A and B are shown apart, each in its own frame.
Chain A
Amino acid sequence: MFCPQCGTSNADDAAVCVRCGRALQPVAGVVVQPGFQPGVVVPNYLVFAILVTVLCCLPAGIPAIVYSAQVNGKLQAGDIAGAQQASKNAKMWCLISVGAGLLFAVAYIMLIVVGVLSRH
């Protein structure tokens, strides 16, 4: 079938578009959650997760990547609701990582400023 969003050709039994991640029409065996809207894209935040792992707070970057893997795993299994939950968690851990990294940076800069001021 062709993806209605980006036009990419997908396997007929694909749960999501291989190109843009759009959920395709309900497939046999997939339980469609009440409130599920076709056309919803489930971001996995993998780029963000790798970025924070390399640049920010490591202990929070790893769960972000783990949830990112879960998003794609659940999309592959056709579990859209599960993928959306994992996507939320991935985003949350990315933001925690950025927050912790910024907090540390601000604390470091303040320490330097205090150190410089106390010398005068």
Chain B
Amino acid sequence: MPVRNKPLVFWCAAALGAASLLVLGNFDPAGSGIFPPCPLHALTGWYCPGCGSLRALHQLLHGNLRTAFAFNPFAVLSLPFLIYGAASHASLQIRGRALPRKFIPARWIWALCAAIVLFGVARNLPVYPLNLLAPGGMLRP
């Protein structure tokens, strides 16, 4: 995480993030065509590990944790970590100090990387129970 203070970049990113959340909360990516589709899915038809994350965020903004989880479990699980990282950045800008950080051993990050790749492969396989991992897979009857 950069420790140098870059106020302009930070506030632009914060404003962009807030605006995106506002749009995302008011328009469902599942129905409205205003959100760009996943490039990988548009080009190849395969789901990537990020597919469904916008729909998941939309559902989360409406308080539907289970539906959000069904669209992209990885995005929902990584959200607390991302929010903490964003909060740390905000704290650095506002108070001049980042939040306490724990050094993550490299092998955990390698494991995370492997998990993301495996998740990306698994959600494309039309085999039960792996197909539950496809976006919305857990919502099918």
Contact = CB atoms under 8 A, between A and B. Distances in A.
A69 B98 contact: no
A59 B50 CA distance: 11
B49 A47 contact: no
A69 B106 CA distance: 5
A45 B37 contact: no
B58 to A, nearest CB: 13
B33 interface: yes
Contacts of A75: 103
A16 to B, nearest CB: 7
Contacts of B103: 16-19, 21, 72, 75
A75 B105 CA distance: 10
A53 to B, nearest CB: 6
B109 A69 contact: yes
Interface in A31-67: 41, 43-48, 50-51, 53-59, 61-62, 65-66
Given A54-B50, A54-B74, A58-B120, A47 B106 contact: no
A70 B106 contact: yes
Interface residues of A, number: 41
A87 to B, nearest CB: 10
B37 A108 contact: yes
B109 A46 contact: yes
Contacts of B49: 53-54, 58
B102 interface: yes
Contacts of A2: none
A50 B112 CA distance: 10
B102 A62 contact: no
Contact of A20 (B2, B81, B98, B112): B98
Contacts of B128: none
B39 interface: yes
A66 B74 CA distance: 18
B117 interface: yes
Interface string B1-22: 1110000000000000000000
A73 interface: yes
Contact of A19 (B36, B100, B110, B117): B100
B36 A47 contact: no
Given A48-B85, A76-B105, 14 more contacts: A19-B101, A41-B3, A43-B1, A46-B104, A54-B49, A54-B75, A54-B78, A55-B54, A65-B116, A69-B113, A70-B106, A72-B103, A72-B106, A101-B39
